[in-house]
Structure 1
Amino acid sequence: MLHGFTPKERFLPYLSWVDIDALEDKENIVIVLPVGAIEQHGPHLPCSVDATVAAGVAGKALSLLPNNIPAYGIPPIIYGKSDEHIHFPGTITLNGETLLHMVQEIGESVYRAGFRKLLMVNAHGGQPQPLEMAARELRLRHGDYMVIARSAWSVAHDSSFFSDKEKQLSMHAGHGETAIMMALDPDSVKMERAEASYPPPFPCPTLTTGRPAAAWASYDFGPTGVIGDPTMATLEQGQQLLAQLGGQWAQAITEIYQADWMKRQEVSWGRGHYQGHIQSRK
Structure 2
Amino acid sequence: MLSDLHWAARTAEDLNNLAQRDAIVVLPLSSTEQHGPHLPTGCDTILTEAVAERMARLVSHHRPILIAPTVWIGLAQHHVAFGGSFSVSMATYHALLRDIVTSIKTAGFRKVLLVNGHGGNISALHVLTDALTQETELAVASTTYTLLPNQQRALEAILEDQLILQHACEAETSMMMAIRPDLVRTQRLSEAFQPGYSKGDASPLSDPLLLWTSFKAFCPSGVRGDARRASAGKGERLLAVAAELLATKLIAGEPWNRQGGSA
Same fold? TM cut 0.5 = yes
Query: Which has the higher mean CA deviation after the structures are superposed, 249-258 or 75-84?
Result: 249-258
Larger-gyration structure (1/2): 1
1:162 pairs with 2:159: yes
* Counterparts of 2:167 and 2:120, CA distance in 1: 10
Distance 1:81 1:174, change over 3 A: same
1:101 pairs with 2:98: no
Residue type of the alignment partner of 1:172: H
Give the alignment's TM-score, normalised by structure 1.
0.79
Residue type of the alignment partner of 1:147: V
After superposition, give the CA deviation of every residue in 1:139-184 in whole Å (9 maximum; x if it has no partner): 11344x2211211212234222334x6226x631111111111112
Q: Which runs of 5+ in 1 are unaligned?
A: 202-208, 264-282
Task: Give the CA deviation at 1:76.
Answer: 0.3
Residue type of the alignment partner of 2:185: K
Task: Verify the 8 A CA contact 1:30 1:256 in the aligned structure 2.
Answer: no
Which residue does the alignment assign to 1:129?
123
Q: Specify which structure has the higher proportion of helix.
A: 2
- Tell me how many residue pairs correspond in the alignment: 247
* Counterparts of 1:126 and 1:98, CA distance in 2: 15
* Counterparts of 1:16 and 1:251, CA distance in 2: 28
1:249 pairs with 2:246: yes
Match of 2:170 among 166, 172, 175: 175
Task: Verify the 8 A CA contact 1:40 1:88 in the aligned structure 2.
Answer: yes
Task: Verify the 8 A CA contact 1:99 1:130 in the aligned structure 2.
Answer: no
Distance 1:226 1:116, change over 3 A: same
Distance 1:210 1:136, change over 3 A: closer
* Counterparts of 1:258 and 1:175, CA distance in 2: 30
* Counterparts of 1:82 and 1:110, CA distance in 2: 25
Give the alignment's TM-score, normalised by structure 2.
0.84
* Counterparts of 1:199 and 1:211, CA distance in 2: 13
Which residue does the alignment assign to 1:231?
228
Counterpart mapping for 1:1-282 below 5 A: 1=1, 3=2, 8-23=3-18, 25-26=20-21, 28-143=22-137, 145-155=138-148, 156-157=150-151, 158-159=154-155, 160-163=157-160, 166-167=162-163, 171-194=166-189, 195-198=192-195, 210-212=202-204, 213=207, 214=210, 215-256=212-253, 259-260=256-257, 261-262=259-260
Q: What RMSD over aligned residues (CA atoms) do the two structures have, in Å?
A: 2.3
Task: Verify the 8 A CA contact 1:35 1:54 in the aligned structure 2.
Answer: yes
Identical counterparts, % of pairs? 26
* Counterparts of 2:255 and 2:162, CA distance in 1: 36
SS of aligned partner of 2:140:
strand
Give the ranges of 4+ consecutive aligned residues of structure 1 lying more than 4 Å apart after TM superposition. Answer: 198-201
